[in-house]
Amino acid sequence: MIAILLLAIAGCAKDAEPARPAGYWFTEPQDDDQRLEVLRRARGIDPCALVPRAELEKLGAVRSVVNDQPDSCEAGIGSAEYYKGIELDWAVVVATVQKGQKVTEKTVDGLSVMVADERDALPKEQFEKLVERNCTVTGQFPAGAALMLFVSTPLGTEPCPVGESILRTAAAEWVREPQRGTAPETARTVLTSADPCDVLPALGITVNPADRRMRTCDFTYRGGEVSVRYEYEEQDMILGDEPTTLPGSRHPVYKDVSSKGDFHFRTATVGPAINPDEPGLKYGPRYPTVSVTARNPEDAETILTQVLTLFP
């Protein structure tokens, strides 16, 4: 959900901007080496540690805190009944979040903050039919990293003030750079702090550091678009319909045989299940996975073979 929201954020009103705080995250990178350093340091941050449990408990009884992706966390608070509790999702992002319409902009503690309230985006008649409330709050650091937060609340509870309060706390924790493992809920896997662009030298390819992301690497290979993704996926949601093998790989690999589109997938699980006893997983336990999407299935296999050499 966070990845989709990254593309959907849009902006309108601005508050006056106070003086910018000092420090690493409030300094814009000046060259490619500095941009790569932003990515490296962002990958080292423990996402779950950005919102301490004590902060979550201010909203009610904490049902769960889950490290759902290498760079993100989610929490459930209060009632587990549909539309009755509070759900939070937040992610560490390295990108400049795009702005457009229907978003309020402000500056909070040196961050450029965008607040997207569905009240402003939906027609009145549609808004009045909602069964829960949603808000997206994004805090952009001048260094090029951002914290994205999605909040769902029951009717009667405004989600945006909740999100803005959590964002302020998370931003303060961010500048302390809590390292992976600070929060007990954070999983440590082979994908922890891993860079999906590490395969590029073996392919003889370079990518502009400004275009690199936390857990995806997009590039052109033999004239076709390719995407490498590092993710935690529930077992039944792993891309690929049929088991296959790749030369020299000890990891389970899956290929798509039913794709009718322009792209083909090859996916491998590169570690054991993460928290296999975690309750509420609809599609089985989460696994660390690497996947390659390419227009040519042979290219997908070639690139995945190279990626898997990074996970012997």
Q: Where are the domains of the chain?
A: 2-174, 196-308
Domain 2-174 carries which CATH code? 3.40.1000
Strand arrangement of the beta sheet that strand 224-234 belongs to: 216-221, 224-234, 286-294, 264-269, 253-255, 242-244
Give the residue from 50, 67, 69, 51 showing the smallest Cα distance to 59: 51
pLDDT digits (tens, 9 = 90+) for 48-61: 999 999 999 999 99
Would you write out the chain's pLDDT as a tens digit for each of its 312 residues?
Answer: 554 444 444 444 445 556 667 799 999 999 999 999 999 999 999 999 999 999 999 999 999 999 999 999 999 999 988 889 999 999 999 988 877 568 899 999 889 999 998 877 777 777 777 788 899 999 999 999 999 999 999 999 999 999 999 999 999 999 999 999 999 999 999 999 999 999 999 999 999 999 999 999 999 999 999 999 999 998 888 866 788 888 888 899 998 877 667 888 999 999 999 987 776 778 888 999 999 999 988 999 999 999 999 998
Distance CA 240, CA 222 (A): 23
Burial of 99 (0-12, 13-18, 19+ CB in 10 A): middle
Q: Are 292 and 224 in contact (CB under 8 A)?
A: no
What is the model's pTM?
0.87
pLDDT digits (tens, 9 = 90+) for 12-36: 444 555 666 779 999 999 999 999 9
